[in-house]
Amino acid sequence: MDLIDKFRGIHAATICPMQADHTIDEEALAAHVGEVAIVPGIRGLLINGHAGENFVLNRDEQRRVVTRVRASVPRTCWLTVGVNAESSLEAARIAADAEAAGADALLVFPPNSWALHHDLGMVLAHHEAVVRASDLPIVLYQAPVGAGNMAYGLAVIEALMALPRVAAIKEGSWEVAAFEQNWRFVKSTRPDIAVLGSSDEHLLTSYLIGSDGAQVSLAAVVPKLIVALDQAVAEQDWGKARTLHDQIYPLSIAIYRRAPGNRATARLKQCLEILGKIPSAVARPPIQPLQANECAELKRCLNDLASTAWTDNPSSLVDPER
């Protein structure tokens, strides 16, 4: 099997449950990833990503997450682990830890400081440090167009694709025109590199343009629904795909587009708590708890999905007392 095939299909970007004291709830983590990973059609997981609060986990915590997840999911579940650090030296250490703990691939995030400024030399040096630290396939991360200077231009993408073992790019531009530009560029330059849809709001549009697979956090909340969309696309049943997209869209908007946009992780956790999938929606500061009106909107969206045929229990998706 070609490496690009490892990234096909749906890869769920999972969350990291926390206890009331903001420590990792490892039992809840194991249950969460274990349940998502065995859903038919889920090909892999992305852990220690943005949804997994990698930016507030220290190195030891990130290593423990990988160890616990690897022990909790089938070995056939492709495990991509995020590497997010301001220091290239620390990124290399996190990468080596992830490989030792059982990761199958590494997703290299741009340091947050690059939103202010960076140059090609910095970008290459950071990724080269990760490449030297492990033997795993590398996934590039294309940041949203609204993330300042973090989003890479085509010249940077081209240079990064020339590095050893680059196998995929998580295309998170979160803007359709930029997605299409980057998709066409990568596929015309390096067709062996997988382009992965990453924007839950316009996943269907990404499929229409072209997408080898998807790494999305909605697949950690309503995995059967996201898998059903992927399968409809594979069958070129665009009518069914549009129906599924229309069902998914209100929840995606409530999580990702409602202001303030920095609460997506908290909203994902709230959804999972509402569904009874995790014991608590606690997120680590500075992420703030949701207001009552946000929780109510998420519950309404989940209740609306209860009538679909792709939920675990369509008649009682949400307990009205929760």
**Tokens 């708890």, residue?**
289
In a domain, 143, yes or no: yes
pLDDT on residue 240: 96
In a domain, 66, yes or no: yes
pLDDT on residue 2: 80
pLDDT on residue 260: 84
In a domain, 317, yes or no: no
In a domain, 52, yes or no: yes
Once rounded to an integer, what is the mean pLDDT over residues 111-126?
95
Residue 264 has pLDDT above 50, yes or no: yes
pLDDT on residue 113: 94
The set of residues, in sequence order, having a beta carbon less than 8 Å from that of 64 and lying 6+ positions away, is 24, 26
Q: For the chain, what is the domain count?
A: 1
Ranges 101-105, 196-200, 261-265, most confident: 101-105
Range of the domain at 75: 3-236
Instruction: For residue range 126-185, list pLDDT tens digits in order.
Output: 999 999 999 999 999 999 998 888 999 999 999 999 999 999 999 999 999 999 999 999
pLDDT on residue 310: 54
In a domain, 262, yes or no: no
Residue 321 has pLDDT above 70, yes or no: no
In a domain, 90, yes or no: yes
Strand residue runs (E) in 61-173: 78-83, 105-108, 138-142, 166-171
Residue 253 has pLDDT above 50, yes or no: yes
In a domain, 293, yes or no: no
Residue 116 has pLDDT above 80, yes or no: yes
In a domain, 109, yes or no: yes
- Rg, C-alpha atoms of the chain: 18
162 close to 137: Cβ distance less than 8 angstroms: no
The whole-chain average pLDDT of the chain stands at 93
pLDDT on residue 322: 44
Instruction: For residue range 291-320, list pLDDT tens digits in order.
Output: 999 999 999 999 999 877 555 444 344 444
66-69 long-range contacts (CB < 8 A, ≥24 apart) are 66/97, 66/98, 66/101, 66/102, 66/103, 67/101, 67/102, 68/26, 68/29, 68/30, 69/14, 69/29, 69/30, 69/33, 69/45
Domain harbouring 216, CATH code: 3.20.20.70
pLDDT confidence tier of residue 261, bands split at 50, 70 and 90: confident
Residue type, 166: V
Burial track 83-121 (b if 16+ CB lie within 10 A, e otherwise): bbbeebebbbbbbbbbbebebbbbbbbbbeebeeebeee
Taking phi first (over 0 means left), then psi (-120 to 50 degrees means alpha), and beta for anything else, what does residue 53 get?
left
CA-to-CA distance for 322 and 319, rounded, in angstroms?
5
pLDDT on residue 201: 85
